Amino acid sequence: MTTTAEEPIAQTPMPDAPVIDVELGQRVTPTRTDRARSFSTGPRRTRVTVRRFALFSVFRFSILFSFCMMLVLWLALLIIFLVLQAAGVMDSVANALGCLINADQGTKACVPAVIDGGKIFAWLFVAGCAFAVVWSGLAVFVALLYNLISDILGGVEVTLAEKRN
């Protein structure tokens, strides 16, 4: 993401808290002029324009996000399946499916269908991974469209404001 700033952001420390300089590791206490300057002005605001998204960055983020969401959904379905299996619901479903599949032999010849949870969830995991890749490709395509449109229109302007306590 490339941004342009119309106003530079001035670094002012918090009014009463000591500031820690990250590079040097030293504590710096704010001076009286810094405190007066931070109270006299309102919240700092700056306007930035989002002109481009790096496509590889969008792909990395979306593949990780999609995979995590797929994994959460897969685990939720697995837990539901295991609870239903422990409650005996899956045996009833297997029996009902067996009666539906073997309906031509009559209702007395119902053979329960075999529901293999391992195979089902292995295929669900593979399908979920494929869907995560497809979703990431779609996100990259949308980012590419945004980049092309922002070349014509100039991007989206966003105003950033710092919240003062």
Q: If you write DSSP's letter for every residue of 3-53 in order, what string do you get?
A: EEESSPPP----SSSPEE-TTT--EEPPPHHHHHHHHHS---EEEEEEEE-
Q: pTM for the full model? A: 0.62
Q: What is the pLDDT of residue 7?
A: 47
Q: What is the pLDDT of residue 6?
A: 52
Low-confidence ranges of the chain (pLDDT < 50): 1-3, 7-8, 13-14, 17-26
Q: How many domains does the chain have?
A: 1
- Residue 149's domain spans which residues? 2-161
Paired strand residues for 48: 5, 158
Q: Rg for the chain (alpha carbons), in Å? A: 29
- Summarize pLDDT for 71-111 with one digit per residue, the tens: 999 999 999 999 998 998 888 888 888 877 765 655 566 77
Phi–psi pair at 32, nearest 5 degrees: -65, -35
- CA pair distance 43, 9, nearest whole angstrom: 11
Is-contact 36 129, C-beta < 8 A? no
Q: What is the pLDDT of residue 117?
A: 86
Phi–psi pair at 145, nearest 5 degrees: -60, -40
Q: What is the pLDDT of residue 35?
A: 54
Q: What is the pLDDT of residue 19?
A: 44
